[in-house]
Structure 1
Amino acid sequence: MPKASRHRTIALKRIPDLKPFLDEIITRVEVPAYIDKDPVLFLHAYDDVTDKQLAGFFAAIMAWGRRDVVIAKVSELMERMGHRPAVFIGSYTEADRDALAGFKHRTFTEEDVHHLVLILNRILHEYGDFEAFWKSVRQQALTQQRELIATFHERFMAYHTGPQRTRKHIASSEKGSSCKRLYLYLRWTVRKNSIVDTGIYTFMPASELMIPLDVHVARHARRLGLLGRKQNDWAAVQELTKKLRLLRPDDPAVYDYALFGLGIADITVPEEIIINKRIP
């Protein structure tokens, strides 16, 4: 007998029953102590808004694996930039490449960072700051009725003149990616009235954010019956975010704290709300 193609899911009318449990987790996880243990700290480390934008972007796209390792590698990269990412990137030329020599984080190499910095340099010179570029991207996406990150990928990579390998670091929903790292960046920069997220961007409302789908968020969403799809891809992001909007239409991404929090905090999930008990 073939395996089921989807996990069991909770009935839509029962999703609001999860709100008190998930909201209580948010109050425990979205606290000041979260910042120092998460790559979001790089948006809190600088006073200059462009430094925040750029340091946060690298922190997000490098957010693979253990958070302490990510923090250590982003710290190294910021040190190589003299802890002035806006100045370093804004004035960067091929002659400055020695500052990046030997840098590596997972599949990120010195060459990848070099070309990403060149792209950002061109964007800064054309738009003035990174948010202005995002605003232009969103306007195009709305006009074309196209997903934001797919448009961002196309526009961002239009400045790229380097090797094909660097392109894989900037996800696109049109290629099926969950786009977790880019939506993590947008959660950090778009959400307002948060202890953790900075709200430095005003170009889009939090209601348009999608859930940053990592393996922990996906696993707990499936346990609770909020996600039936078995693949961690763009279709899964759409499915989960649509259901989270039933809980907070104006701020669905806040439930990243609840679902991620189940993986990092000592929280017992009541048996009666677990839909897929075989998922550990």
Structure 2
Amino acid sequence: MTEAELKDFLDQKVVQYNTLDFIESDPVQIPHLFTQKEDIEIAGFLSATIAWGNRKMIIKNSHKMMDLMGNSPYDFVLSHSENQLDSLDQFVHRTFNGQDFKAFVKGLQHIYTHHGGLETVFTQHQETTSTQKSIHEFKKIFFEANQPQRSQKHISDPLNNSAAKRINMYLRWMCRQDTKGVDLGIWKSIPPSKLSCPLDVHSGNVARKLGLLTRKQNDAKALNELDTQLRHLDPKDPVKYDFALFGLGVFEGF
């Protein structure tokens, strides 16, 4: 397949999968429940945080998170009582438990109270061509409030050679200007050209079969290789190809 043929093939797959139907089976549906900016970005951040494993269980548990926060995540983050915080103890999704949920609420409260909110933190630390240093700096700031050490594993660090799939997916949701209505695109201060593909086992395997990726591990080095290829195909909106790679892997078993 020539480069032109590959681009045409992937562009067709983006059109096929980047549709409103995609929302029904994806955790991106959680931030779509809200209209206030802060509710959207907090709901998106928490649901992206637990986005590993069975997709139906991810969605079910993301809804449970919202229910435990009274379906007002921003208000809960800023104004929760100790009793309300203790009610989160019952939550569990794989290795993310109630203690982690409480730690993340406190981290979010710290971000909004002392650092101007999620968008501000990510925007202040973005580099010329990438958001990976932004993720590294965000993690440091998020855990400034002395949350338990065990909770820190739930935010990956690209500068520690992680592909940081879940938080790159979150940034896609928040920053990508999606005319089809899947990604929310409520953050205008980070251009989609800087976003990185949410690299996981599905997208990685498809990328290798298509010759977009040679590295065998799904790590930060592989992500940089894949990003370089996707930005060559579309410099302005490279992560749109996540829909193609994910769809080919999950829905078509490519």
- Which TM-score applies when normalising by structure 2? 0.93
**Secondary structure, counterpart of 1:83 in structure 2:** coil
> What amino acid is aligned across from residue 114 of structure 2 in structure 1?
E
Distance, in Å, in 1 between the alignment partners of 2:125 and 2:105 is 19
| TM-aligned CA deviation for residue 128 of structure 1 | 4.2
Amino acid at match of 1:115: A
Runs of 5+ unmatched residues, structure 2 = none
Partner of 2:179: 194
1:200-225 C-alpha deviation (Å, 9 max, x unpaired): 00121000001100110000001111
2:227 — aligned with what? 241
| Number of corresponding residues | 251
Partner Cα distance (1:170, 1:220) in 2 = 25
Distance in 2 (CA, whole Å) between partners of 1:102 and 1:114 is: 11
**Secondary structure of residue in 2 paired with 1:121:** helix
Counterpart position of 2:10: 22
Q: 1:215 aligns with which of 188, 196, 201?
A: 201
For 1:111 and 1:266, how far apart are their aligned partners in 2?
38
Match of 2:217?
231
Taking the aligned partners of 2:186 and 2:78, their CA distance within structure 1 comes to 19
Answer yes or no: is the 8 Å Cα contact 1:137–1:155 preserved in 2: no
1:154 aligned onto 2:140: yes
Number of the residue aligned with 2:105:
117
Structure with more of its chain in helix, by fraction:
2
Q: 1:146 to 1:180 in 2, by over 3 A?
A: closer
Alignment partners' CA distance in 2, 1:45 and 1:70: 15
**CA displacement, residues 109-152 of structure 1 (integer Å, 9 cap, x when unaligned):** 100110110010111112443212222233xx56xx97222222
Match of 1:89 in 2: 77
Contact 1:217 1:260 in 2 (8 A): yes
Q: Percent identity?
A: 39
Indicate the structure (1 or 2) with the bigger Cα radius of gyration: 1
Distance 1:256 1:155, change over 3 A: same
CA deviations over 1:18-63 (Å, ceiling 9, x no partner): 0111111111101111112100011211111111000000111110
Which consecutive residues of structure 1, in runs of 5 or more, have no partner in the other structure?
1-9, 270-280
* Preserved CA contact (<8 Å) 1:189 1:198: yes
| AA matched with 1:166 | S
Q: Distance in 2 between matches of 1:218 and 1:73?
A: 26
Q: How does 1:160-179 map to 2 (within 5 A)?
A: 161-179=146-164
Structure 2 match to 1:180 = 165
Q: Which residue of 2 aligns with 1:273?
A: none
1:157 deviates by: 2.1
The amino acid of 1:48's aligned partner reads: Q
Q: Is the partner of 1:60 in helix, strand or coil? A: helix
Structure 1 moving runs of 4+ over 3 Å: none
TM value normalised by structure 1 = 0.85
Equivalent position SS for 1:192: coil
